[in-house]
């Protein structure tokens, strides 16, 4: 993880594995832990912690420290894990969730616009078709055209109603998630 061979690092102070800017505070926290009654502690709970490899490159770590006493000597064990990949995956997940939320909002906006723009012309066609008495039309071709126009307008009206129901359902879901989970709403992918 640090890029050292065991013989290079054996016997070296732990400070050689942490960035220089933490050298002043690290010994103090070890002394404080050594004096405490705690047997173990997760490190980095108050701030992010980093390691530094043999090439001088910093990377985020997760660490825990434990101590034991044998014949009046305290021994400390530190277990560290490079969490670079996990943090990168979390960042990608957050970005993907934000993208999904944005796409969902765009889709919902498209649905509202489509619903609004579809309703007017469909209502006009249905209104005009209601003025016709199909029994008064004698020409079979004209009767067939009028019948098809009316059927198409009714089908479009059904699509409009379905779209409105979907938008209403989505709006209800949004308000439930907002009420139940106001802080973490951005992490939830939406259904539509």
In a domain, 167, yes or no: yes
Report the distance separating Cα 95 and Cα 25, nearest Å: 34
Q: What is the pLDDT of residue 181?
A: 46
58 has pLDDT over 90: yes
Q: What is the pLDDT of residue 188?
A: 41
- pLDDT, tens digit (0-9, with 9 covering 90-100), for 6-29: 898 888 888 888 888 888 777 777
73 has pLDDT over 90: no
Q: What is the pLDDT of residue 55?
A: 92
Q: Which of 82, 98, 132 is the last residue of a domain?
A: 82
- pLDDT, tens digit (0-9, with 9 covering 90-100), for 104-140: 888 888 877 877 788 888 888 888 888 878 788 888 8
Q: Cβ(100)–Cβ(190) under 8 Å?
A: yes
Q: Which of 32, 52, 82 is the last residue of a domain?
A: 82
Q: What is the pLDDT of residue 57?
A: 93
Indicate whether 91 and 78 sit together in one domain: no
The total domain count for the chain is 2
Average pLDDT over residues 136-145: 87
Indicate whether 74 and 115 sit together in one domain: no
In a domain, 120, yes or no: yes
Angle, helix 140-180 to helix 84-131, in steps of 10 degrees = 140
């Amino acid at each position: 993880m640090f890029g050292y061979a065991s013989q290079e690092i054996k016997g070296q102070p732990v400070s050689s594995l942490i960035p220089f800017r933490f050298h002043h505070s690290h010994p103090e926290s070890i002394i404080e832990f050594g004096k405490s009654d705690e047997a173990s502690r997760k490190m980095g709970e108050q701030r992010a912690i980093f390691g530094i490899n043999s090439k001088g490159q910093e990377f985020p770590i997760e660490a825990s420290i434990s101590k034991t006493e044998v014949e009046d000597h305290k021994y400390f064990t530190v277990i560290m894990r490079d969490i670079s990949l996990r943090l990168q995956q979390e960042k990608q997940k957050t970005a993907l969730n934000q993208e999904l939320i944005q796409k969902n909002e765009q889709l919902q906006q498209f649905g509202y616009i489509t619903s609004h723009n579809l309703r007017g012309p469909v209502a006009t066609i249905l209104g005009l078709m209601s003025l016709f008495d199909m029994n008064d039309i004698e020409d079979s071709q004209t009767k067939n055209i009028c019948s098809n126009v009316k059927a198409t307008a009714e089908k479009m009206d059904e699509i409009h109603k379905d779209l409105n129901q979907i938008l209403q359902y989505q709006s209800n879901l949004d308000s439930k998630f907002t009420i139940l989970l106001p802080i973490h709403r951005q992490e939830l992918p939406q259904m539509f």
